[in-house]
Structure formats: C-alpha cells, structure tokens
Amino acid sequence: MHIDLSGRRALVSGSSQGIGLAIATELARAGASVVVNGRDRDKTERARASITSEVRGAEVTAVATDLASADGAATLREQINDLDILVNNLGIFGAKPVLEIEDDEWRRYFEVNVLSAVRLIRMYLPGMMDRGFGRVMNIASDSAVVTPIEMVHYGTTKTALLAVTRGYAKAAAGTGVTVNSVMAGPTHTPGVEDFVRELVGDELPWDQAEHQFMMDHRPHSLIQRLIEPTEIAAMIVYLSSEFASATTGGALRVDGGYIDSILP
C-alpha cells in the first residue's frame, strides 16, 4: 500500500516533540505539507528543522501559539486559512489522587485536552466539508476507556474526546470528510519517561524502570512495552489517506492490546 498525501495540508497541534512530532514527520514523509505547532517558538522551530532535515523536500511551517486558548486559535487561523488534515494531538497529563484535584485543575485539563480540539474542528471542518475532502483525527488514549486511578482527570477528558469525535463525524456525514479518534496506549516520549520515574523512582536503569512500570501500572498491555511514537504516526498517516474513506466516527486503537474488551 503506497500512501501519497501530496497536495494535502496538515496541521498537528502540540507537535514540537513526542507523538506530535512523530506524526508531523510521517505526514511529511508521505508528501503532505505540514504545519507544526507549539507554545515555545524555539522548540517549534527546532521541530520544523528536524522534519526538513529528516524528510528531503518537506514543506513545513512552524506556528508558535497556545492552542489551548481562543486567542491562540485565532492567531493560528490568521496564518493558516484552511486544512485538509487536522490532527488534534495537544494534551497534558499527570498523576494526582482524584480527591485532591481542584476545580481549576479540572478546568485546565478540559481547556487543553478537549476544548482545543473543539475549537480547531469548528474552525476547519466547514471548509473541508465545502471542498468534499477532509480528515480530522483526535488523539485519545486507552485512558478514555480504562480510567487510570492515578489520573482520573486526564482519562475523563479523553473519554470526552470520543464523544466529540462521534458528534462531529455525524455533522460531516455524506461530505467526504472523516472524523476519528485514535486511542494511543502508553507511549515512549520524554514526558512519559518523567511520568514513569515519578511512579517507579530514579534508581533503576531505564529498561528495568519501563518493565516495572508496565508490570505494576499497565499490566494489561499485550506487548508489555511502551509504544513508539512512530507506531501511532503510522495509523494517522493511513487515516489521512484515501484508503480510509469508509472509516469515520470510530475510536481506533494503537494501544498495544491494553484495553481488555472487544469493543471500545
């Protein structure tokens, strides 16, 4: 299967590092013109340089703005008028006992993890529908279905993204636009390395720390390791293509078999 995204413009929110950067890189490798985004201008420019260095001839634009705010989304729209592919990857996570999560923190998680996606879909979906082609993908998580006791607030926002996805897929029915969620499992990023260290400590070498984290905190994983960001990116590239034209409104898994159910 050869996927050619030439002529398509893609935005990946929160793509200055980690999963987002991997997705942006693989979309560029498939031929898409890519917009990378982050709050920090230097990190966002480094992400752009990383992709152009790795993918010969890549067309990459860096837009540094905070998409967790309405003003930040407006700044993006001033520079990027329309899109063919929208990947809502921006998100935050962290461990905290659920009884200690205050109202302001709940609001912050919803603002970043849910409303950032809603705003961007609202901005770019109508144009996709008018043109008869578009791909919207929301990066959810296994935590949308298997709520982790150490971060209920995070899991709840990812559950909300599944509903957001289904609702906007219905709004785009019959237009040639698809809207899907991708439920990523525990993935190897710098932020997750820090998270693992919070839970298992700094004493063990990384490979042992990863193994202990999976056995103690994610024991249902069938691959028994962290997922690599490129494995998430491969699903996104497929969903961005013409081959995925009949897949919409779905919650697709790249979770390493972590979710212990037949359906999401």
Catalytic residue among 109, 124, 154, 168: 154
Residue with tokens 């710098």: 190
- Residue 184, strand partner residues: 141, 254
Identify whether 154 is a catalytic site residue. yes
Secondary structure, 3-state, the chain? CCCCCCCCEEEECCCCCHHHHHHHHHHHHCCCEEEEEECCHHHHHHHHHHHHHHCCCCCEEEEECCCCCHHHHHHHHHHCCCCCEEEECCCCCCCCCHHHCCHHHHHHHHHHHHHHHHHHHHHHHHHHHHHCCEEEEEEEEHHHCCCCCCCHHHHHHHHHHHHHHHHHHHHCCCCCEEEEEEEECCECCHHHHHHHHHHHCCCCCHHHHHHHHHHHHCCCCCCCCCECHHHHHHHHHHHCCHHHCCCCCCEEEECCCCCCCCCC
Distance, CA of 231 to CA of 183 (rounded, Å) = 12
Which residues carry out catalysis? 154
